Each structure stands twice: as C-alpha cells, then as structure tokens.
A and B are shown apart, each in its own frame.
Chain A
Amino acid sequence: MQVTLKILRFDPAKHEKPTWQTYQVEAEPTDRVLDLLHKVKWDQDGTLAFRRSCGHGICGSDAMLINGKNRLACKTLVKDLGSVITVEPIRGLPVERDLIVDMEPFFAAYRAVKPYLINEEPPPARERLQSPEERERFDHGTKCILCASCTTSCPVFWVNGTYLGPAAIVQAHRFIFDSRDRGKRERFKALGSGSGVWRCRTAYNCTEACPREIPVTQLIEEVKRAILFDRF
C-alpha cells in the first residue's frame, strides 16, 4: 500500500522554525513506522534525522508523536494507523534536529529523585531476602525504559518545565516501594517540593502514552499517598 508520511522537519542551520515535509512510501501493513522512516532515509532523503537503536520497543530511543500520540516508532504498525501518517518530535523538550530532542532536562529530573537503591546497612553474605509479594509491589516501575513518552505527553510538563514529570516519579515509586530500600525520605524532598508530585493534575495522558503499559497515573497517586501518610 501507498502511505503518505508527513514529517515535521527542523534543521537549526536551515530553518527558522519547524516545517512539514511529505513523502510517499510503499509499505506493508505489518511494517513498523520505524521501517517507513528508514525507507525515507535510505531511499529518498538521507538528511532525515531520528534516533533508534533496538527496533523492538525495549531501548526507548524512538519515542515520537505519531498521528498525534506519543508512541515508539518501532512498536507502531502501519495497519493500526491508516494511509496518512504524521510524525513529529515529542513535545516539551528542545528540538535539536528533525525528530531529535534534547533529553538532558528529562534525565536531570530522573537524577533528582535519586533513582538507585539506598540502603547503607552492610549487605548479607547472600542475597537480601524478598518475598514474591514484596517483589510484585514495585514490578510496574521496573518495566520503564526511560523513553520519555509519558513525561512529554503531560500538559503540566509542557506548561511548567520544572515539573519532575511522570517518568521520574515512576522511578521514585520503584524504589519507595522496594522492601530493601531505606531512602524514601531523601526522595520525598524532591517529590514533595513545588516541582514534585503535587503538580500532577491526573490527566492520564501519561498512562495512555506509556508503551510498556505501566499504570503511570496510579503510581503517581501511590507516591502522593506515601508522602501524605509519612507526614502523620
């Protein structure tokens, strides 16, 4: 089938602002959007720039706005989109070139929540024990691939660039609810601040955008409750 691919292009050396460019591509219904981007880059226009690595949804490189929704280009098939497909960079992070955005603000928020196990007790000779139920408690957050789909779909993040955003809160959740961790109070400083969880307006965009089916909004609510109950 013929697919019309409209891509929002931006080259700081050439353009004042992003401009749409249209390509006609021959595609199979089972092709990934990533395949179409490669067809454009390899056969029609070598100047198209985008990120990708693994090509099957586990590295998180190729999050982009496809037909108006945040998705991974490698996990989105043509048959689910139709014959006109629009592709834009994810929103709320500075665009550096075509579909490539500056990820540093996103990773700065990640670092701010101390996304690592905090436990200064001397470890035992063998593993720390943890029941399957304790392990299950934080399973959702361990699926996160840091693709930024959730954070860059969040209206609060678009408006207020200092908001930590859903992905960072999911990372914090992953440790707050890990029975081995002792660092939740340290994380609450950033999470309870003006840039933290209280900015969340429960719009559910993050949950809809997550390509790993993490119930992001639910995890944010759980972090809010953990902070509240910690105060009393």
Chain B
Amino acid sequence: MAHRHEVIVVGAGGAGLATALYAAREGADVAVITKLYPTRSHTGAAQGGIGAALGNVEEDHWEWHMFDTVKGGDYLTDQDAAEVFAKEVIEAVLELEHMGLPFDRLPNGKIAQRRFGGHTKDWGKAPVHRAAHAADRTGHMILQTLYQQCVKHNITFYNEFHVTDVILEDGVAKGLVAYELATGELHLFQAKAIVIASGGFGRIYKVTSNAYTLTGDLQAILYRKGLPLEDMEFYQFHPTGLYPLGILLTEGARGEGGILRNALGERFMERYAPTIKDLAPRDMVSRAMYLEVREGRGVGPKKDHVLLDLTHLPPEVIEKKLPDITEFSRIYLGVDPLKEPVPVMPTAHYAMGGIPTTLWGQVIQDEKNTVVPGLYAAGEAACVSLHGANRLGTNSLGDLVVFGRRAGIHAARFAKDADYHELKADHLGESRERIERIKNSTGKEKVAVLRAELQQSMMDHASVFRTGELLAKQVEILKELMDRYRNISIEDKGDAYNTELVEALELGYLLEVSEALVHSALNRTESRGAHAREDYPERDDGNWLKHTLAYKVADGKVAFRYKPVVLGRFEPKARTY
C-alpha cells in the first residue's frame, strides 16, 4: 500500500510527538509512524524532571543553565545549541504547562523545581533548584500530554509499523518503507519532509535502563546508506540503575538528598566532587562507583555494587516525590527505601551521539554541514550537539521538546514550499528481500544467542572505562558477530505479528550502531565526558576538541571525518565540581 503525507515523523516518543504537534500547528498534513502504540515509548520512563531556568524556587538564569550544559558536556557541547536550548526550554516548559501538563506545584501555585546532577548557580558554586517535575514520572506526563495534544489535532498515526528503509534518491529524502506488524505487508510512504525521532539504542548493552525496543533502527538504516553518525563514542551510563536489573532510579532521589555509600558506609562522592558531591554529573559519579568497586569497597556477596541511601529523608518526601522508584525497589528487590538503602549500579542509559543535525533539526551529511534536503532528526536519535561528551540529567526531556519543536516547525515550512518527489525505482524490493532472506534462511545461528553475546561483550569492552586493547578486541568480536548474523534463521514464518522477525531485524541494527560506537571510541585517544580511556586518561583539547563523524565504508570498516566544536562564551577549562 502507498501513503502520502507532507511531513512524516518516525517515532512517537517525546521528540516525535513534539515534532508532529508543532508541524501540525504550522498547518502541515502530518503522520507519525511508530513501531509501538503511542504512549509506549521510552520517554515515559524518564523520571526526575525537565531542567529550565524558571527561577521559581531560587534565583536562576538561562546563562547558568547554558554554562552547566557546556561544562557538563566536557566542552564538546556546541555552544550555539546550548544557548538556543537554555533560552527556549523555559518557553517550552511553560507551553507544556499551558497544554495541561500536571507539574507538581509550589505553595504559591507555580511549577515546583528540584535539584539535579550538574545543575548549579553562580557558575558552579552550589546546586540549584532547576528541574521542573511531576512526581518521579515527569517523562510519563510529557509523553501523555503531547499525545493528548496530537489527538486534539487529529494527527494520523500508523501504529506498529516498523520502518525498514529511508528512500534517498539524488541526495534527497523522498519517503519511507515500513513493515506493518499486524499483516506483514510492506507500505510505501511518500513525504516532502521526514523527521527521524526514533530514540536511542541502549539494548547494545547487557545492563540498561532502556526498553527492549530501543535498538537504534533508524541510526543504523542511515549509517548503512552512507550517512554519518556523530560522536557515537559518548554513551552515558546512569549511576543509579537498580541492581542487578538496571531499571532506572532517578537522579532526583539524590536531588532530594539521597546519598551514595560504599561497603564501609562512606559517602564516597566527597572525595571525587567535593563541592557538589552526589550531585556531580553522571559520567563522574558512574566512574567513581566503578572505582569504589574496583578498590574492594563494593557491597554484596560479589562486592560489585554500591548503595543509595534515602533512609534519612522524611518518609513523606520519599512517598510523595519519589513514589515510582520506591515501588520499583519494593517490587523487584523487596527493599523498602524508607527503611534500608537500595542496591544500585551504573546502567546504560543515553546516547549523546546520533544523527548529526543543524539547530533546526536538518540532517547533515558531512563536516561542512551540508544538509540532506527533506530529512530531519530530533531527540535521542539525533546529535545537535547539545549534550557534548556527557548529558546533564533533565536535559533529555528539554532537548526533545526544544529541538522537536524546531524540527517540526522547520519541516512543516520546508514542506509547504516543496512538491512530492517522483520515485525512480521500486523501493519495496530491498526491504522485501531482506525480510524474505531472514524468513527463508536455514542457517543455524539464533537471534537471542547472538544478541546476548553482543550485549555481554559490549559491557565487557566498551562501557564505563575503555582501553585501546579492549576496544580492538571488540572490533574483532563485532566482525565475527556480523558474519554469524548472515546465518540467522527464525521459526516463525507467518505474516501476522511476526515479532521474531522484528527482533531479527533489530539485531542487525544493534550490530551496526555498536560498530559505529566501538570504532569511534577506539579512534578517540583521549578521555572526555562519558568516554574514559584508561590508556589516555587526560582530556586532549589540542587534538580532540572536535566532533567525530563515523561513516560505514565497508563491512567492518569505518572512516572518520571531523567537525569543529562551536565555541563561544565559555573557554574550555578543567572540569572540577
């Protein structure tokens, strides 16, 4: 079947819905393609808040937010992006409130705000209340509110459609191919503008806060087509994943006063970040936790994790402001945070890198910022680059509304002046062939086995700490896994809801994004933000104050180009807290 819409958005998370909504408000005919049902997307898992210098609790300025974002990103953040962001996120939060988002309130009726990692006043002097929140389900509320508005605007949704191809002809984005899960049918979508907002890929790792469905599909599809992925080496581990599952426990818990302790009961963050302690940025806290474990001060029979202590907080703060994580802890661990500390360990959480874009979400294809006409990206799938080498907590929700809105507005205006393109070829063929090959294969390799090997090896060789030796080993493992991937077979040969086929396709994407990540990490011989090389422990601004663009040139081979970091107000300085 064939469909036409002026603007087609891939993904129905926060970024996709914000994009769709603002494009619709511009008067465009908008459709959203999602491989889930709307409201199932992982924005709903974001807990703690959305940072904006509203100044509702204490003095705050967008310039302080911009500074924190740049410093938090270890100066790899593009400062033009950080400036646009810190200013516009204030307006975006107020617009969400006007749309009905149920923020928590202060006694004077204004939106409530709390502290979060890396957010400071007076250029780093002390923590600041900047995270606007709705209990510990701020992401859930954003996702629901944006979906409610999409319902109000009658936006078309293609639910449970799995995009298998982006049609690029003559250097122009013309449409998409998608596999309808209910029927097994392939659909052709023609669009004047396409916005990729399909989220991250935490499922390359064994321990992750990410949904099973976060498999980097569209990053991999564009990468296969020769478009670059930017700064893939920077992958964030969130310090407080519930041990051993990796389910997220919000940084807001530390924002409310929670403390990390090692086996000796020490508040170890005092040694690593004396000024803001447990509210240091995530990369620093995750590394500190690993070091505590490595030096024998870990907790538990395997001494492999630490504790998040909330027991000194008033019970009503925990019950009212952190109800969901309290429930997770009780259900999955049988631990009551009111009475005993919660076992935690770093968990794979967020891709700072992704599809490179301009400040208006236009996808770029090289170091000269040449745009691909009609192609946009926003949210975690994209890299503008706001988060640089490490994202501050709450800046993901801010990113997806600010840059989702910008991508939606620009895509709608672009579409207004554009025509639908003629398609030169039968674009369904390639997808059909890939699907048939998997369905008809008699190979002996199992998807679940390969995926588990990938996830374990990425954990062992390319997680919080890296070395050249480990990364080189992972390059070889990935080559072998890709070879074996050609011999996968599946049992389900049916057409209706063939979820086994979908998992097989997703494994292919996981392998591709892992390749881009590992090669980029091996290539960058310095330590910056979330990329900690033990063989190159120092930040090296002389050689590496630049963005990586990774290109797939052949199976197992990756080429690099570089883009300068956009500097401005803030000179790179040593990053201490």
Question: Which A residues have a C-beta under 8 Å from some C-beta of B?
Answer: 11-14, 30, 41-43, 45-47, 49-50, 52-61, 75, 77, 96-98, 100, 103, 107, 110-111, 114-117, 119, 123, 126-132, 134-135, 138-139, 142-143, 145-146, 175, 178, 180-181
Contact = CB atoms under 8 A, between A and B. Distances in A.
Interface of B: 36-37, 39-42, 44-45, 94, 97-100, 102-111, 134, 137, 140-141, 144, 148-149, 151-152, 159, 182, 211-213, 245, 247, 324, 328, 331-332, 446-448, 490-492, 494-500
A58 B134 contact: no
B448 A129 contact: no
Contacts of B490: 46
Contacts of B105: 130-132, 134-135
A67 B300 CA distance: 34
B491 A46 contact: yes
Nearest to A55: B212
Nearest to B449: A42
B439 to A, nearest CB: 12
Given A14-B494, A117-B148, 15 more contacts: A13-B494, A13-B496, A49-B497, A54-B211, A59-B40, A59-B45, A97-B497, A107-B37, A127-B94, A128-B97, A129-B108, A135-B104, A135-B105, A146-B39, A178-B100
A55 B211 contact: yes
Nearest to A179: B109
Contact of A127 (B42, B97, B211): B97
A60 to B, nearest CB: 6
21 contacts: A13-B494, A41-B500, A43-B448, A47-B491, A47-B500, A54-B42, A54-B45, A54-B212, A56-B247, A59-B211, A77-B332, A100-B497, A103-B159, A116-B100, A119-B100, A127-B110, A129-B108, A139-B102, A142-B134, A142-B144, A145-B39
Contact of A59 (B42, B107, B498): B42
Contacts, number: 147
B152 A116 contact: yes
B137 A115 contact: no
Contacts of B245: 56
Contacts of A77: 331-332
A132 B107 contact: yes
Classify the interface of chain A: helix, strand, loop or mixed.
loop
A145 B147 CA distance: 12
A59 B44 contact: yes
A84 to B, nearest CB: 22
B212 A52 contact: yes
A96 B159 CA distance: 14
B448 A42 contact: yes
B148 A116 contact: yes
Contacts of A30: 332
Contact of B331 (A55, A75, A139): A75
Nearest to B157: A107
A58 B149 contact: no
Contacts of A131: 105, 107, 109
Contacts of B211: 53-55, 59
Given A46-B490, A129-B110, A60 B40 contact: yes
A56 B328 contact: yes
A12 B492 CA distance: 13
Contact of A12 (B36, B39, B496): B496
Contact of A49 (B40, B42, B100, B499): B499
Given A49-B497, A96-B497, A131-B109, A60 B42 contact: no
Contacts of A43: 448
Nearest to A75: B331
A58 B324 contact: yes
B448 A115 contact: no
B36 A61 contact: yes
B138 to A, nearest CB: 11
A58 B45 contact: yes
Nearest to B323: A143
A194 to B, nearest CB: 23
A181 B100 contact: yes
A42 B98 CA distance: 45
A167 to B, nearest CB: 12
Contacts of B331: 57, 75, 77
A170 to B, nearest CB: 12
A115 B148 contact: yes
Given A55-B212, A129-B110, A143 B99 contact: no
Nearest to A171: B148
Contacts of A100: 497
Nearest to A143: B137
B100 A53 contact: no
Given A132-B105, A135-B104, A98 B497 contact: yes
A11 to B, nearest CB: 6
A33 to B, nearest CB: 12
Contacts of A42: 446-448
Contacts of A123: 98
Closest 9 CB pairs of A and B: A117-B100, A129-B109, A42-B448, A116-B148, A46-B491, A97-B497, A123-B98, A46-B500, A47-B492
Contacts of A138: 102
A107 B498 CA distance: 23
B36 A11 contact: no
B151 A116 contact: yes
A127 B111 contact: yes
Which interface residue of A14, A41, A116, A129 has the most chain B CB atoms within 10 A? A116
